Every structure is written in C-alpha cells, then in structure tokens.
Chains A and B, each alone.
Chain A
C-alpha cells in the first residue's frame, strides 16, 4: 500500500483528466443543482406551507410514494421468481427471455407508456378481460402501479440474478434431505442469503419509480387528487411559470426520496455488518 502511494503520480494526465472531470461535472451537474438549492433556501416559508397544505400535493405525494413502494414490492416478488427461473431452470428460449428482461430499461418511457395504456385500456387486449371483472387499470391508480412495476423490473431481476447464482444448491439439498419443507427451506436457507440483494433490488427499483414520468403520464389519466403524480404536478406548475411552487415541490420530493433511500441504505449496512460479524 505504501509503495503504491509513493508512485501515485507515475502515470501522466492526472491534472488534465481530473480538471476536465471536475469542470464538466460542475458545469453540467453541480451548478444547476446548487442553483436549485439556493432558490429553495431563499423561498419564503409560506411557499412551502402552501404547497404542503394543498390537498392536490398531498394526494400526489401519497400516490407517488405509495405506487412506487407497491411497484417495488411487486418487482421484489416477481423479480425473484423470474431471476430464480432464469438461474435454476433451463428452458428453451431462456437466453431470449433473459435479454428481454432489460426491455423496460432500453425502451423509451413514452413508448412504454402508450403501449401499456393501449394494453390495459378498456378496449385493450388485457383491459377487455379485466373490465367485466370490475378491475380498472388504465386511468386509475392501479395503472400507475403497473407502469412503475414495468419500469423497475430489470433493476430487481438484475440484482437478484447474481446473488442466486452464488447460492450453493447443496445447502438446499441438505435441508431437503433432513426433511425440511420447501417453504421452510425458502424461509431459513434461501431468504437469509438473498436478503441484501433483495434490499438493493427493492431500493433501485423504488428510486427509479419515484422519479418516473414518461410511462406514468399516459396510463394514469392525470386526474387531480386521484391519479396525479408529483412529476406531473411540477410540470403543471412550470406551465403556469410558478417557479417558486415548483422549487418547493422539487425540493420536498428530493429530500423525501433521499431520506427513504438513506434509510434503506442504513438497514442494508446493518445487514452486511451483522453478516461480517457472524463470519
């Protein structure tokens, strides 16, 4: 380590590359974020109070965070089944399915939005089946959950997949030969070793869902108090040139998302800490 430290500037280009990195980062990211920060601090408290007491804002916060949690949870469940299948059960066409899992990541959100809306609308392929059952997806809060599940899927699958690959099937076989039931094996053998990956997958798909805009605006129908997400509310404030309101809303959203992800990170850190102590 000491040796490495002494020859740290052996290679050329340190000043140039670091300078360029810092300059580009500052111009493109740090200055704009700092401007929002200054604007947020210079706002009168009444602006925040107005935003926070607006029933539309509260409804949007509830929907955005609620649907994001629901979507991330669904992704955890289905993402686990998909990842498990892809790792453990070879079936014809597995490689194609495996590649297709990344589709929501590669497909522009506007395209996902109109495709999901058409699929789940009353006249759509799936909506037509659900409609007589009294289930409305498109233009309802459920539509938001569907869109956010779609968007977050690759994040959940791609974090769980390597963790499942690392599991040693021998432990499960041992448990099975000792007479454990499948449920028991899942709860006491598989789940504990996948917990950190599950949490990461949950956090990633949640983070993505909290900011998602494109796929949601089409399927939600954007009804105030019912299916309006925060991003759309910010968009509305911008269209009315209410930059103070937009700043307050953006700041509150960023803070709340940050706190939630920080909490998940702390739980994660405690998991890995405990695991290390157990070793």
Chain B
C-alpha cells in the first residue's frame, strides 16, 4: 500500500458548510415555518382550523383522491410491468415512453386536457350532459385529474426491477404446474413487494398534494370540491395565514412520514440488491 498523498481538509469543511447552509435555507427553514406559523394562534386555534367543516370536507376529499388513485395505479402498475417485462412484443419501447407521458405534461395543462375531454363544451360534453353526469368542476373531475398525475409512479418503480429479475422463477413455477395467479402471488409479488410499496407511497404523496391539475378542474366550491391544497390556497388568499398553515402542517407531516418510509425502503432495496449481487460471487467461491 502506497502512502496516500496528504490532502488538505478545508475543501471538505467548505463543502459541508455550503451544504448545511443551503439546505437550511431551502429545506429546514420552510419546514420550521410551516409549524411555527400553524401554531401562532395557539393550540385551540390550530385544532379549530383543522376541524372546521370546510377543512374536514377538504381532508375527506384528499383522502378519497388518494384512496382512488393508489389502488387504481397499483393495479395498472402491476399489469403494465407484467406485460412489459415478461413478454417480448412490438411497440414495447413506445409503450414504455407513453407511460411516462403524464410526467412531461405540466399539471395545469393536464387539468385542461380533461376540460377539453369531459367538460360541457368538450368531446363528451353533450353526451355527459344528457346523461346528467357532471365530471368537470365536480368531485369525479378531481379524481380523474389525480389519477392522471399519479399515473406513472407505480409502473415506473416496478418495470426496471422486474426487468432485472427476469422470468426464470416464474417459468419454473409454471412448468411445475402452478397457475398464473398462484405464480404471481407466491413468486412475483414477494420479489417486488418493497418496490411496489415504494411506488405506492410516492403515488399517495403526489395524490394528496396535487395542486395545479386539481385546481383547474375543481371549480373551487368551498366544502364541496376543494382538496386540502386548494383549501390552503383559499385560506391563504383570505389572509387567514394561521389556518392555512394549520392545514398545511397536516400535509407536511404526511410528507415527513413519506420521507421516513421512503428512506427505510430505499435502504432495504439497496441491501437486497447487494445481497443478490453477492450471491453468485459466494457460489463461485465454493467451487474450488
């Protein structure tokens, strides 16, 4: 082992200092502000702000948006990942690109797409009107816009992982006589469970926090078609800052919980990857 050239320490301290300063300004301070502003009026005002009927309706609608988008996009993610990673077919890479499309469309334009598609003057407008179904400026519009925005999250996590894992295990199960569903349940699902959870967590965070797309299609009827982010906007524009931050603090808690689960899952996924990478090496070591 050669003697390492002596390196100065100041660049390291500089980097750490810049990092801490930058992240304090951009991450820690905004985070602190949410909570200090939320409790500015005292605990009683805080509780009142998050339990008043309009806030409760907004919380309910946000939970509903997540309760619809997460299962729908998990189901889609599983189907898409199965079709795209277990089979070869023409147009596969086109399909892969199209799945990412919602990420490339600005949220406000995404909301506008559904006004053109399902609004009164839209393609299906006359038909929906005669059937007396209101989608845009109503709850269904909010749910559909959220579905669109969160569309790629689960599929995006599953496809690269399942691609890497290949299909040997599934083929073995099938050739031993297991049914397709059984193979999926006992072989595939255990292999992808953490990535699936990871995608679902990200999907949930985005579903609960989406603002632009939902804002376009909501119609902003207080207590009826406002999600939590929209409720925050209304309160903030009324200069009711403490209440706005009180509702915002709930979403911030959600974000923090998401981050904790996310880094725990990342750690686990990394470890699993490392273990599976070490396995063949260990086997080789046994042979001689």
- Do A and B share a complex? yes
B163 at interface by CB-CB < 8 Å: no
The tally of residues in A whose CB lies under 8 Å from a CB in B reads: 89
Is the Cβ of B33 less than 8 Å from the Cβ of A125?
yes
Given A10-B171, A17-B83, A91-B16, A238 contacting B115 (CB threshold 8 A)? yes
A97 at interface by CB-CB < 8 Å: yes
CB proximity of A63 to chain B, nearest CB, Å:
14
Cα distance, A77 to B174, chains bound together (Å):
52
> Of all chain A residues, which has the CB nearest B155?
A21
Is the Cβ of B117 less than 8 Å from the Cβ of A243?
no
Is the Cβ of B116 less than 8 Å from the Cβ of A32?
yes
Is the Cβ of B251 less than 8 Å from the Cβ of A111?
yes
CB proximity of B40 to chain A, nearest CB, Å:
11
B54 at interface by CB-CB < 8 Å: no
Chain A residues with CB below 8 A from B95, complex form: 21-22, 25
Given A106-B205, A108-B208, A29 contacting B98 (CB threshold 8 A)? yes
Is the Cβ of B229 less than 8 Å from the Cβ of A214?
yes
- The CB with the most chain A CB atoms within 10 A, among B116, B171, B228, B256, is that of B116
Cα distance, A235 to B109, chains bound together (Å):
9
Given A21-B95, A243-B116, A107 contacting B19 (CB threshold 8 A)? no
> Of all chain A residues, which has the CB nearest B72?
A24
Of the listed stretches A194-202, A246-254, A266-274, name the one at the interface; the rest are far from the partner chain: A246-254
> Of all chain A residues, which has the CB nearest B19?
A85
Interface of A is mostly: helix
Chain B residues with CB below 8 A from A213, complex form: 106-108, 211-212, 215
Is the Cβ of B262 less than 8 Å from the Cβ of A81?
no
A84 at interface by CB-CB < 8 Å: yes
Cα distance, A86 to B252, chains bound together (Å):
24
Cα distance, A32 to B252, chains bound together (Å):
32
Chain B residues with CB below 8 A from A250, complex form: 109, 112
Is the Cβ of A81 less than 8 Å from the Cβ of B30?
no
Cα distance, A25 to B113, chains bound together (Å):
14
Choose among B37, B113, B244 the residue that contacts A32 (Cβ–Cβ < 8 A): B113
Cα distance, A211 to B102, chains bound together (Å):
11
Chain A residues with CB below 8 A from B37, complex form: 118
Chain B residues with CB below 8 A from A254, complex form: 105-106, 109
Cα distance, A112 to B106, chains bound together (Å):
17
Given A118-B37, A125-B33, A253-B109, A11 contacting B23 (CB threshold 8 A)? no
Contact residues of B between 144 and 165, Cβ < 8 Å to A: 144, 147-148, 151
> Of all chain B residues, which has the CB nearest A22?
B95
Is the Cβ of A36 less than 8 Å from the Cβ of B80?
no
B138 at interface by CB-CB < 8 Å: no
Is the Cβ of B251 less than 8 Å from the Cβ of A108?
yes
CB 8 Å contact bits of B168-184 with A (1 = contact, 0 = none): 00110010000110011
Given A17-B79, A20-B79, A100-B27, A234 contacting B19 (CB threshold 8 A)? no
Is the Cβ of A11 less than 8 Å from the Cβ of B76?
no
Is the Cβ of B89 less than 8 Å from the Cβ of A11?
no
B15 at interface by CB-CB < 8 Å: yes
A191 at interface by CB-CB < 8 Å: no
Is the Cβ of B245 less than 8 Å from the Cβ of A114?
yes
Is the Cβ of A111 less than 8 Å from the Cβ of B83?
no
Is the Cβ of A78 less than 8 Å from the Cβ of B236?
no
Q: Interface range on chain B: under 10, 10 to 19, 20 to 34, or 35 or more?
A: 35 or more
Cα distance, A133 to B98, chains bound together (Å):
48
Is the Cβ of A106 less than 8 Å from the Cβ of B109?
no
A58 at interface by CB-CB < 8 Å: no
CB proximity of A70 to chain B, nearest CB, Å:
15
Choose among A11, A111, A114, A177 the residue that contacts B5 (Cβ–Cβ < 8 A): A177
CB 8 Å contact bits of B253-284 with A (1 = contact, 0 = none): 00110111011000000000000000000000
Cα distance, A182 to B171, chains bound together (Å):
54
The 10 A-B residue pairs with the shortest CB-CB distance in the complex, in nearest-first order:
A108-B209, A211-B106, A12-B180, A213-B212, A214-B211, A115-B30, A32-B113, A110-B229, A17-B83, A18-B83
Seed contacts A35-B116, A231-B109, A246-B112; 5 additional CB < 8 Å A-B pairs: A88-B12, A108-B248, A109-B211, A110-B211, A235-B216
Q: Contact residues of B with A, CB < 8 Å? A: 4-5, 7, 11-12, 15-16, 18-20, 22-23, 25-31, 33-34, 37, 76, 78-80, 82-84, 86-89, 95, 98-99, 101-109, 112-117, 121-123, 144, 147-148, 151, 167, 170-171, 174, 179-180, 183-184, 205, 208-212, 215-216, 228-230, 232-233, 236, 241, 244-245, 248, 251-252, 255-256, 258-260, 262-263
User: What would 24 A/B residue contacts be, using CB atoms closer than 8 Å?
Assistant: A16-B79, A17-B78, A17-B80, A18-B87, A21-B79, A21-B80, A24-B79, A28-B147, A78-B18, A81-B18, A85-B18, A100-B259, A101-B23, A106-B258, A124-B33, A173-B7, A176-B7, A177-B5, A182-B11, A207-B103, A210-B106, A218-B236, A230-B106, A254-B109
Q: Contact residues of A with B, CB < 8 Å? A: 4-5, 7-14, 16-18, 20-22, 24-25, 28-33, 35-36, 39, 78, 81-82, 84-86, 88-89, 91, 95, 97-104, 106-112, 114-116, 118-119, 124-126, 149-150, 153, 173, 176-177, 182, 207, 210-214, 218, 230-232, 234-235, 238, 243, 246-247, 250, 253-254, 257-258, 261
